[in-house]
Amino acid sequence: MSVQTQHQRITVPQIRAHKGAQPIVCLTCYHAHTARLLDQHVDLMLVGDSLGMVMHGLETTIGVTLDMMITHAKAVMRGSKRALVTVDMPFGSYEESPAVAFRNAARVLQETGATAVKLEGGARMAETIAYLTQRGIPVMGHIGLTPQMVHVKGGFRTTGRTEEEWPALLADAHAVADAGAFAVVLEGMAEPLAAKITRDIAIPTIGIGASPACDGQVLVMEDMLGLNPNPPKFVRQYAQLGPAIEAAVKAYAEDVRSRAFPGVENVYPMKKAQ
């Protein structure tokens, strides 16, 4: 009899249980090799549609396709064993109707093996969130600054910085929670409002440019590693990999041009005659 080591992924109920308890640690992830590095340290990996900007050089997330999300999510699943993996639903894949959203979300989960999907929008998406969760698809919500609305909003604009904005955003938060989402991302939101939403709703809030009071935090991995030379204000950089990579490439180029690389230790000698 063969003995196999079973790896138990973090589950949706376990994420929900973080409400008011230990903060949820979340980072975006787009590749297998970084998934392996993140897996023992984060609770949740988000295969975000930010990959369009980070990985593919797009100006916004609007051009990201469902096939792109599925390809990257497969890679993250191959590289991870423990963290819960959630996949962003890209623009145009869920807004048309709950039925269309279900069809595309089901494809994401079936083809990638991921656990959940994330979609943007508050009250306007409550019907869709309920439709998906009632049919077995866990949903993470996303309110506040919603990047897929960039053209409607005229840019990436923070929210809730005037009291007049609060009622609609509070309504969005309650609508997402009441519809059955297991957690909600609060992005680019005034700190007092994000803290109030966290107190008021029953599901975990995950902040990005929101509040330390949130039930968890998420950052784009490349931002916190110093690969973005102009990160948003809400990013804390924990490394400076951009300059380190450039220095390494410069040293490699110099070695190649001077024929210092490859060295004796990098090449294969002939086999000795028998």
pLDDT in tens, 171-182: 999 999 999 999
pLDDT tens digit string along 55-75? 999 999 999 999 999 999 999
Residue 147 pLDDT greater than 50, yes or no: yes
CATH fold of 12-224 reads TIM Barrel (3.20.20)
> Which residue stretches of 87-231 are H helix?
98-112, 126-134, 150-153, 166-179, 191-200, 221-224
CA distance 85 to 30: 11
Q: How far is CA 101 from CA 87, 89, 264, in A?
A: 13, 9, 57
> What H or E segment, with its residue span, contains residue 121?
none
Average pLDDT in the 220-241 region?
96
Q: Report pLDDT for 1.
A: 45
In angstroms, rounded to a whole number, what is the distance separating the alpha carbons of residues 69 and 39? 19
Q: Is the pLDDT of residue 255 over 70?
A: yes
Confidence (pTM): 0.94
Domain parsing of the chain, residue ranges: 12-224
Tell me the Cα Rg of the chain.
Answer: 21
Q: Could you say which of 111, 120, 165, 187 is catalytic?
A: 187
Residue type, 221: M
DSSP 137: -
Helix, strand, or coil (residue 9): coil
By C-alpha distance, which of 96, 181, 107, 104 is closest to 143? Answer: 181
Indicate whether 5 pLDDT > 50: no
Residue 187 is among the residues annotated as catalytic for this protein: yes
DSSP of 12-68, one letter per residue? Answer: HHHHHTTTTSSPEEEEE--SHHHHHHHTTT-SEEEE-TTHHHHTT--SSSTT--HHH
**Mean pLDDT over all residues of the chain?**
96
